[in-house]
Amino acid sequence: MSTSVLFDVPGPRARARNAVYTVAALAAIAALLYFVYAKFDEKGQWEGRIWEPFLRPETWTTHILPGLLGTLKAAGLAAVLALVFGAVFGLARLSDHAWIRIPAGVVVEVFRAIPLLLLIFFIFYLAPSVMGGGDYAFMAVVAGLTLYNGSVLAEVVRAGVLSVPRGQSEAAYAIGLRKNQVMRMVLLPQAVTAMMPAIVSQLVVLLKDTALGYIIAYVDLLNTGFKILPAVFFGSLIPAAIVVGVIYVGLNMALSALATWLEKRSRRSRKTSAAPVAPPGAVGVPGGGVSAVD
């Protein structure tokens, strides 16, 4: 049996006490769930007539699936652009040239500091002044998600490269590799494996943040679930919220499962001496890097 160095193995009394705490916690959760169920029942939220619309195929094809498609389009494009942005500016922050490193640092810190909602608002209302009239909701959502999450990912990339032990690069320089070769052939392959959990954690945040497009009337899953569906089927706000919430949970769980599979596959296929980079929001990052604050 493996033991942890962080705490002692609990004895019989401790195991019994932990079992009591577990039962008490489960009872409290069950009581809370029953309370929510009872309150919803008092308001008639479990009546079949307000759930019946979600059993119709046309409800899904006309409202929910187009909203889901809008969410996936914005999230997919923003994820690709944010990864490119993060890679470029993360590596730029590691440059030996101050004229590259300092401006890249300023860009990253500025866009990390601006609230995402404010960024989306700014782009949405600035675009018509610059490019003329039109619907810029999609562009504002994608651009805001790209700039904010790309800046966070830039810090993840920087931390991932710094997490690779210095001896790896010193050995590469010793055999005559140039800096770009060291970065491309030695550091990045190891750093990608270490960065994978943090990158996917931020992509999950990006997917959830597409819901902010609701504020500027971008047609996404939240917009169709909280604005359009309750207007079409009066009284279906709570059911719509539950359905939309379940879909978001499913999307994020699928993305997290994909990330776990990719990380295990990458660690099997290549050896790395870099410790995993902490997800955004953590206090510190192994290897001397500092993770971004979500």
pLDDT in tens, the chain (294 residues): 444 555 667 788 888 888 999 999 999 999 999 998 888 888 777 877 788 888 888 888 888 888 899 999 999 999 999 999 999 999 899 888 889 889 999 999 999 999 999 999 999 988 888 887 777 899 999 999 999 999 999 999 888 888 777 777 767 777 877 777 777 777 777 778 778 888 888 988 999 899 898 888 888 888 887 777 776 776 677 888 888 889 999 988 888 888 777 767 766 655 555 555 666 665 444 444 444 444
Contact assessment for residue 278 and residue 291, using Cβ atoms and an 8 Å cutoff: yes
Q: What is the pLDDT of residue 107?
A: 93
Nearest of 291, 123, 81, 130 to residue 218 by alpha carbon: 123
Per-residue burial over 40-64, b if 16 or more Cβ lie within 10 Å, else e, is eeeeebeeeebbebbeeeebeeebb
Q: Position of tokens 């300092």?
A: 102
Nearest of 34, 169, 153 to residue 92 by alpha carbon: 153
Q: What is the pLDDT of residue 289?
A: 43
DSSP labels, 6-18: SSPPP-HHHHHHH
Supply 124's token pair. 């949405």
Q: What is the pLDDT of residue 39?
A: 86
Identity (one letter) of the amino acid at 269?
S
DSSP labels, 56-93: SHHHIIIIIHHHHHHHHHHHHHHHHHHHHHHHHHHHHT
DSSP labels, 118-162: HHHHHHHHHHHHHH-SS--HHHHHHHHHHHHHHHHHHHHHHHHHH
Q: How far, in Å, CA of 166 to CA of 153, rounded?
A: 22
Q: Where are the alpha helices (DSSP H) in 93-115?
A: 98-113
Q: How far, in Å, CA of 52 to CA of 49, rounded?
A: 5
Q: What is the pLDDT of residue 291?
A: 42
Torsion, Cα 70 71 72 76, to 10 degrees, reads 110
Q: What is the pLDDT of residue 266?
A: 66
